[in-house]
Amino acid sequence: MNVSLKNAIKNFTLFSTALFSTLAIAQSKLAIVIDDVGYHPKEDAAIFSMPREISVAIIPVAPYAKARNQEAKNQGRDILIHMPMQPIGQTKIEEGGLHLGMSAEQVIQRVQAAKNIVNYAIGMNNHMGSAATADSTLMRHLMSALHEQRLFFLDSRTIGRSVAGKIAKEQGVRSLDRHIFLDDSNEFSDVQRQFQAAIQYARKHGTAIAIGHPRKNTVAVLKQGLQHLPSDIQLVGIGSLWRNERIVPPKPFILLFNDIPAPTSTAPYEPVPLLRGVPK
């Protein structure tokens, strides 16, 4: 065996080992949803400049809600209705939100009105809603409305005793839970710490859903973090988790062999200079 052939075999072996090692890396999913979209053009623009896997939750009554809905659709970005819901306490919520004591018909009308504005939405999550998501009657009305609109529900988990997921399951509505809040604190170091917590959560559980807001430090941390995202973490849109899509690792496409038959493999056979094995 000549030296050049030995080197070729050695290189191919090294390449094959590296290739299969790469494909064997188990990847975990990280979904990031940015809430409160639709109020501030500059901040929204920073979010929309990031990878399209970053999902956006748009408040229906926000002044730029329709524009952001269309922009996200054009980018192929997953969209949620960020529905205002009653919190514990006296904090007021935006018009068109959901309050305790509403009838099923009132909830249906408000969900429909929100969907008419954010018409490309594939799901809904709650804006505030610590009281609303803990109320069984209101959640039954909501899940019935979401089932009718074919929307899933992302529980922002603003309260530990939320019943949204349990009732969604009863009503046949797919639901997901937020795992990490990125920016409860606006300090850069705190947001950075929470981003790393989301990565660690994804590694441990296979999936992590993080929620943030269109704020300066959140944007800075995301741009930096996503640029250096570890190879075992795959950024996905929230819709990928809703649809239970499997991770498909990027396939390195390297053409090792030409699929066109060699000229000497089909009759009539013609000898080629310096090419051995030509039939006679």
pLDDT digits (tens, 9 = 90+) for 195-237: 999 999 999 999 999 999 999 999 999 999 999 999 999 999 9
pLDDT at 24: 42
Amino acid at 268: P
How many separate helices (H) and strands (E) can be counted in the chain? 9, 9
Amino acid at 66: K
Write down the CATH number for the domain with range 28-243.
3.20.20.370
Relative to beta strand 175-177, strand 207-212 is: unpaired
pLDDT at 197: 98
* Two structure tokens written together for 130: 């610590």
Please say whether the beta carbons of 113 and 107 come within 8 A.
no
Report the alpha-carbon distance of residue 71 to residue 41 in Å, rounded.
12
Report the alpha-carbon distance of residue 201 to residue 220 in Å, rounded.
21
Buried b (16+ CB within 10 A) or exposed e, 147-158: bebebbbbbbbb
Please say whether the beta carbons of 55 and 31 come within 8 A.
yes
The ranges of the chain with pLDDT < 70 are: 1-26, 247-280
- Domain parsing of the chain, residue ranges: 28-243
